[in-house]
Amino acid sequence: MKELNKNRNNFNVMSIDKIDAPDGMTGDDWYHYTIGEGNSKIEGLRPGSLKKVTEHVNEYCAELNDRIGRGGSTYSPRAKQNK
């Protein structure tokens, strides 16, 4: 799948691909998604329509980017080093 969204230094949707249901799970509508930023990559699986999965992944990216805009997580070792 082509790159869906690209902003410099932000988490972006890299791909969303239809897959078979994971072992032990039912249903025909499963997707594997990849979100990335620099060397960081997050992969996940989600059931639902392509539209719903795409909405979820875009919201997930927006939340991650919002967190970055606020200086990251207070649990991040890098955040503690900068104090």
CA distances to 21, 23, 73 from 1, rounded to whole Å, are 19, 23, 31
Kind plus residue range of the DSSP H or E element containing 41: strand 40-47
Q: How many CA within 13 A on the CB side of residue 43?
A: 2
Provide the pLDDT for residue 16.
98
Assess whether pLDDT exceeds 90 at residue 55.
yes
Provide the pLDDT for residue 38.
84
Provide the pLDDT for residue 23.
95
Between residues 44 and 73, the one the model is more confident about: 44
Average pLDDT of 53-65? 94
Assess whether pLDDT exceeds 80 at residue 24.
yes
